[in-house]
Chains A and B, each alone.
Chain A
């Protein structure tokens, strides 16, 4: 019963796939699928972190701005002569630092996360614009693009890494004590505290991990191009949050799974390209995505009320049987 969302999303994805198979089989061509996957990679990576943040009952709307800053940072670090792997690690660390700033303000200074991340969203984006004056990072060292390898092997490498990452998150959230701490802190912070979990630390960790993952996403994205724009990641926060919510993570915290979120990323990510293949105006993309989000939220609500009533009835049933 608690797997309902995952099943529903899988069905929705299959339905879209079926429409495409009938209407525009070209959609499934390898190149197209590859582009689709690569374009959605940043969303998938950042969504893992956002899952943690939303599970703890918080929100981070600064990931798009972080992504822009970290993309530029990736380029600058690479140009400074750091070997590419070291630059990648450094970018993740820079991301973790940005996330830790958000996390500290939310968890320890107790400022609402929407306020904190709204501030960092604006500050990072405008700060970057001011520093770069809108200029792109160019003349990247030869070892940077595609990690200095062929496009195919670089893409395979990134893809493999993301698959591992998603699997690790999915398993860890369900099976590690640390994973349960995120659910606990979001479900009932006071109970978590009494159970010996420090909810503030959990929230701090969620933001920090999100920052590090944003760094990773920014780096993996940057190596795909020969220059780095100073306005990357516009609207990324909305894409990510939408995917997480459609994926069944409760905005009030405490509930959700990585599998659902991954499906959310896939479903929302395939709508746009699918419309293009079907020759339907791309203007519909937002409308359809909006409808999916509404449907997801409505489903959550209905499910919650019904579950409560059913559970009450079940309780009585139980009681009657044993008495």
Chain B
């Protein structure tokens, strides 16, 4: 056994995150860990990695009973982790980040040891290639997008050549192609006898790659199933304790006027050119493409983060210039849910209430005075609807599980009534149950006439929820598909740049 955890308990200030969880990992297997948001998956991972200490229970790593366990010890015992939140150093380059992860067991091992930063460039390049991407190792991590950071984390973990590899939602922000190369890496590591713990809310991935799956619910182990004994429906039933259809609650509505239109829009700073599309009131326009194809950059241009320098933006038929986010929000009523919730989405120190109402304080205040009761009731409504797992509305967002943070970031915009709502990966890291709830909320907004642009790497979601799908490739538009004619294959082939696929 590579790992044996028994009776693990952990609570945070009264919140029981884990209540007696047992888990083990054999050499040469992929053991999946599934559960709703807040079920305790990441907490278990952090305990196995030494990043948090269990309140009770025993943990054996590589057959050895560990006590006073630390991240450095975990690494020495051959455990590598890709955490749900990338844990990189923003001021260091990609190569330096990778070198730091590989060469040191922390400075405790040889504080005066010399580190050769130059040699690490080539190594970083090679590991990134194995992780399935090309990122210049000399770039500063602060300039990387969310999926790029995720890939650097994966490269770090591969490079550690560990016996145990733990991946906490590695594909949450990755597209199909990157995910495929990750599965390739996982297969070869498994064949080499390593053990892999794999966490994901994309159940089709679990069914495809896992040899065993353990289901957590409310901090307890519900079941551990062997390959063949679980399918998506079975997993959902065990996770949620009730039946949920994974069907998209799409309502085809009569569309209204064109709300937003771009004509040959371009921005050199954002690296996009010649994007012409339009969104109508009540329409959900899916924006698909590979990571780095310019989807997020297009959204940032519309939101005034990287103002356009070519082409036109028309709102309600009139040409406008959007120079800054504050202009976008207040003058043009454009809202944007960014893809990186930690850097731009939620304010980690602020409570759920303040995070939820941050973008529409006028709804919960009178003459500038905050009405606490109104704030509470608005927040409570959204928290219940989105099933945010928390015991208080005043919990700081930083203490929520990853998926629940995403829900809070989303709640902020779902509470407003913008003219145009841009959602960048709205359901990343969100469990199946809450995902369909978010989709239902989007449908409600559509009924109220909000024009939506939904960026997503999740192909079933794009195809299931969009009225039309615009596919981007290398910074410009590769084609637009109507709901009837869109299939996952067609979207993908456009995204890959296959000419004339539309």
Contacts and interface: CB of A to CB of B under 8 A. Distances in A.
Interface string A173-184: 011111011011
B154 to A, nearest CB: 15
A313 B271 contact: yes
A200 to B, nearest CB: 13
A254 interface: yes
B91 A255 contact: yes
A187 B108 CA distance: 19
Interface residues on A, range: 35 or more
A188 B142 contact: no
Given A314-B136, A315-B148, A254 B90 contact: yes
A97 B61 CA distance: 40
A196 B76 CA distance: 10
Contacts of A191: 87-89
Interface residues on B, range: 35 or more
Interface stretch (B99-107, B200-208, B236-244): B99-107
A318 interface: yes
B475 interface: yes
A317 B115 CA distance: 31
Given A183-B89, A186-B91, A313-B268, 8 more contacts: A178-B107, A191-B89, A195-B71, A195-B87, A307-B143, A309-B269, A316-B272, A319-B293
B379 to A, nearest CB: 27
A310 B136 CA distance: 14
A320 B139 contact: no
A175 B114 contact: yes
B86 to A, nearest CB: 8
Interface of A: 174-178, 180-181, 183-184, 186-188, 190-198, 250, 254-255, 307-320, 322-323
A140 B272 CA distance: 73
A315 B271 contact: yes
A107 B143 CA distance: 29
B110 interface: yes
Most buried by A among B88, B110, B134, B143: B143
A174 B106 CA distance: 16
Contacts of B114: 175-177
B145 interface: yes
A193 B107 CA distance: 11
A197 B89 CA distance: 12
A188 B111 contact: no
A316 B300 CA distance: 14
Contact of B115 (A175, A250, A315): A175
28 contacts: A174-B117, A176-B114, A177-B104, A177-B112, A177-B115, A181-B106, A184-B89, A184-B92, A184-B100, A187-B89, A191-B87, A191-B88, A193-B71, A194-B49, A195-B106, A197-B107, A311-B143, A313-B268, A313-B269, A313-B270, A316-B294, A316-B474, A318-B292, A319-B292, A319-B474, A320-B271, A320-B474, A323-B474
